A and B are shown apart, each in its own frame.
Chain A
Amino acid sequence: MSRRNYLIKRVVQALFSLWIIATILFFLFRMGLPDPTAALITEGLNAEQRALIRAQFGLEDPLWKQYMLFLTNALQGEFGTSFSYRAPVAEIVWERLGNTMILMVAAITLAYAIGVPLGAWLSWRRGSLADTLGIFVGLMFRSAPMFWTGMIAILIFGVSFALFPTSGMRTLPYDATGFFDKILTLDFLWHAILPVLVVALYYLGSPLLIMRNTMLEVYGEDFIEMARAKGLPERDILYKHAARNALLPVVTQLAVTIGLAAGGQVVVEVVFSWPGLGREILNAVRTSDFPLAQASFLIMAAFVITLNLLVDFLYSTLDPRVSFR
């Protein structure tokens, strides 16, 4: 199969998956979540008054009609109006997604930038104290619940030493003309340090351990023996020959991590009151805000699918042995 045909086939598959996911989401929320007006009962609204609100939300229409409207709108990037905020969902989701992505991308970049070379170095020094310590630290932050690490970080650096702010992404109130205007400031950096570090420490374990273990495998390969025989310096063997060959599984892991990052780390967003998508999804599900919940999950799904697609293509570039069959 030619590379072009393969590409087209994969894109069509991806679109089909998205449609399936959109459909499942649509019905899942309507069947699984309670009526969005149920919470209004405690506000003293009777059935008739709630029906009025349901009509405003378009929930009194037949289900197939709601579904068709949802699909045609989604195709045009329209996700309707949020039930609770009464604001366009697209606007809310894109803004929140940006906030989440900046946090996640910074954290993941940091984790991989440190984790990959550190993992390689540890494999070279395997069995040493540094190796034991490195594995321990990586595993510890990987297994510690992130809300706990976050709260400890807040307690130490936010409350006791009062070095960093404990919530939000800017000092309030702030005016920003756009996303980059918001994040390209020292104030943002100052707010981002704690949450980014907490997420990065959590993610550090994967590249560190994967890199270390793959490297150990690679060391046994003939070409390493060959390099040694040629009398290359250990440093060159490690970083130029072994590390490049050990990167493949790390790249897979990275793609999956970035794909899932769209949903954010809900706990970190909650602990640091970060106005991200994860926190918004939680609210949307809690209040049965169907349009907001559908759009958020759909965008997350689109992210994962797109990233998977990218990895497939990237794989063949990194390792020509992977074919298009």
Chain B
Amino acid sequence: MRMTKLLGSTILLAATTVAFGAAAQTRVAPIEIYTTTQSYDPIRYESAYIIADAWRDLGLEVEVRPMEFSTLLDRFYTEQDFDATVLGWSGRTDRLDPQFFLGTLDSRQADPGANNPGGYANADYDALFDAQSGEFNIEARRDIVHEMQDLYKGDAPMAVLFHRDEVVGYNHTTFTNLNAMAGEGLYSEWVPMEAQPLGERATLRIGGPQEPDNLNPLASTSVWGWKWMRMYYDRLVRLSPDVEPVPWAAASVDAVDEVTIDVTLREGMNFHDGKPVTAEDVAFTFNYYMGSDYSYFNAYLAPLASVEVTGDLSVRFNLTEPSAPFATITLSQIPILPKHLWEGIENPEELTPEQIPTVGSGPFVYERYDRGEYMSLRANDAHFYKENIGVDGVEFVIYADAEGVFTGLQTGQIDMTAWRMEPGQIPLAEGNENITVVSVPDFGYFHITYNTRREPFDDRAARRALTMAMDRERMVNVLLDGRGEVGGSVVAPVNAYWHNPFVERFEYDMAAARAELEAAGYSWDSDGRLQR
């Protein structure tokens, strides 16, 4: 009798709690995670499922929606119509400067089509972004960059899942001194300049599954086009293998004040057609790019107001605002084009392949490009860097897929791979006595970005909790075979100078995730569903 009564009141008590909870709180809206299809990229696809499983454990209704890649990009960037999306940024040398990746969290880039689709908005962060951009003292700039990583990290607007290792290979019986570069792997602009032949053949053969879209410096919008063109066009500055800007075609780069930069050209440089490289060519190139419809370099050229010729070999760059990345990124990306060949061309983007003047002043000279098959360059004997170059030319064999590239490496048709090997090929390459396998950490990253305009990601606590409920260690071990690193901040650990190692880690911890949610007033209903 007493027992029944006690039981009865307990049930009554429980019922009131549920009723009370239901009145005050509503279930958190279901979440869709967008990701790539399995065939496009199994890694991002599986990552989404690993995340979804843990989020379901937290009491959320989660669905994974794989999508065709370009549709996914469109949905994420252009339409910003998503809850959470798993995507990635590739590591390109010009992104080693923190400007680009930090910019992906700037609220002024949150418009449709821009680089901050999640819409993270933090006025302090934006102010710091401007401050670092205008800071010429590199140590002071680093302090700001570190502070920014710390600042955004606590708000968890997105999570860097992992940085993948680029695993590439080369034949060590034909060439030596091939040093992989972070983000670029072996196919960097330095490897052909540093490689030393071991046998009779001095022409370095590179093989890759991708080819340039085109080799028009005013139309190409692909990494593959620019990786090749960089070898026959000089830039004022080159990024060293350790990614420090070193004067290249420039003898010196001097900041007169915060918005004025004087550049003096190296003496005695010539284009491949024998005409000298002068300040006129440099000024022409920058003005030509600024006046063209070619938008690939627009971000780099944005801080530039005008370029003046101040002497035969000297030019002055006038900026609209102080810009630290100008000397590193802009000057290292814009090629020097010969004025005498380009000035008569009105619509350069319409040039057919045969019409493009492929004349540069770089360490290699353009020879040929047979679409879908082959490209080649020969060493420029008149170049100032000639004495350091061991190869007499560079060839690029275009294969249809990674399988073909690997067979080419195995059979000695090529000396190195331009692109990462497939996971299944790595052990085979390691077992081959002629092949050296190199693993370089990427500073690009895979991420899950939350739409901070939508429930539940509009709430900082929810974002933080969901970020803790993410077994990124498992992703690296299982999906990458251990060839990678769990993400810290948008500035990768391999980018040691700018990376802040002391940011909040968000280790995988379901209990901590629940605690975070509870502290913010979330609870779970009788079905175990999260409610707020």
Asked if A pairs with B, the answer is yes
Among A24-78, those with CB < 8 Å from B are 33-35, 38-50, 52-53, 55-56
| B368 lies within 8 A of A273 (CB) | no
Any A CB within 8 A of the CB of B372: yes
With A41-B77, A44-B115 as known contacts, state yes or no: A158 contacts B374, CB within 8 Å.
Answer: no
A176 CB → nearest B CB, Å:
10
Known: A47-B113, A87-B353. A172 touches B70 (CB 8 A): no
- The stretch of A131-139, A159-167, A312-320 in contact with B is A159-167
Residues of chain B lying within 8 A (CB to CB) of residue A86: 213-214, 216, 219, 349-353
- Greatest chain B CB density within 10 A among A40, A43, A48 is at A43
- Kindly state the separation between the CA atoms of A40 and B299 in the bound complex, as whole angstroms: 13
1/0 contact string of B337-367 vs chain A (CB within 8 Å): 0000000000001111100000000000000
Chain B residue numbers with a CB within 8 Å of A56 are 293, 349
Binary flags per residue of B407-432, CB closer than 8 Å to A gives 1, else 0 = 11011010000000000000000000
The answer to whether residues A172 and B374 also contact, given A56-B349, A166-B407 and a CB cut-off of 8 A, is yes
B210 nearest in chain A by CB position: A283
Residues in B with CB closer than 8 Å to A212 are: none
Asked whether any CB of chain A lies closer than 8 Å to the CB of B26, the reply is no
Within the assembled complex, what's the spacing in Å between the Cα atoms of A38 and B398?
24
Chain B's closest residue to A40 (CB) is: B221
For residue B295, CB closer than 8 A to chain A, the reply is yes
| A154 at the B interface (CB under 8 A) | yes
- B293 CB to closest chain A CB (Å) equals 5
Residues in chain B near residue A166, CB distance under 8 A: 404, 407-408, 411, 413
Q: Which B residues from 311 to 354 make CB contacts under 8 A with A?
A: 349-353
B371 within 8 Å of A by Cβ?
yes
Is B111 interfacial (CB-CB < 8 Å)?
yes
| B403 interface residue (CB < 8 Å to A) | yes
Interface assignment of B28: CB less than 8 Å from any CB of chain A: no
Residues of B close to A55: CB separation below 8 A = 293
Known contacts A50-B113, A158-B411; A42 and B214 CB within 8 A of each other: no
B198-216: which have CB < 8 Å to A? Answer: 213-214, 216
CB neighbours (8 Å) of B214 from chain A are 84-87
Contact mask A166-177 → B, CB, 8 Å, 1/0? 111000110000
| Cβ contacts under 8 Å, A48 to chain B | 113, 295
Residues of chain B within 8 A (CB-CB) of A33 are: 70
Contact among A81, A168, A269, A272 with B373 in the assembled complex (CB-CB below 8 Å): A168
Known interface pairs A45-B221, A47-B113, A86-B351; A162-B77 also in contact (CB < 8 Å): no
CB of B404 within 8 A of CB of A167, answer: yes
A34 contact set on B, CB distance < 8 A? 68-71, 73-74
Q: Does B149 contact A (CB under 8 A)?
A: no
A45: which B residues are within 8 A, CB to CB?
221, 295-296, 298
**Contact call A271/B403, Cβ cutoff below 8 A:** yes
Could you jot down 10 A-B contacts, CB within 8 Å?
A34-B73, A35-B74, A41-B78, A44-B299, A46-B114, A49-B298, A52-B293, A154-B407, A270-B404, A273-B398
With A35-B74, A48-B295 given, name 16 new contacts (CB 8 A).
A38-B73, A38-B77, A39-B70, A42-B90, A49-B296, A53-B295, A81-B352, A84-B213, A86-B214, A86-B216, A166-B411, A167-B397, A172-B397, A273-B400, A273-B401, A275-B373
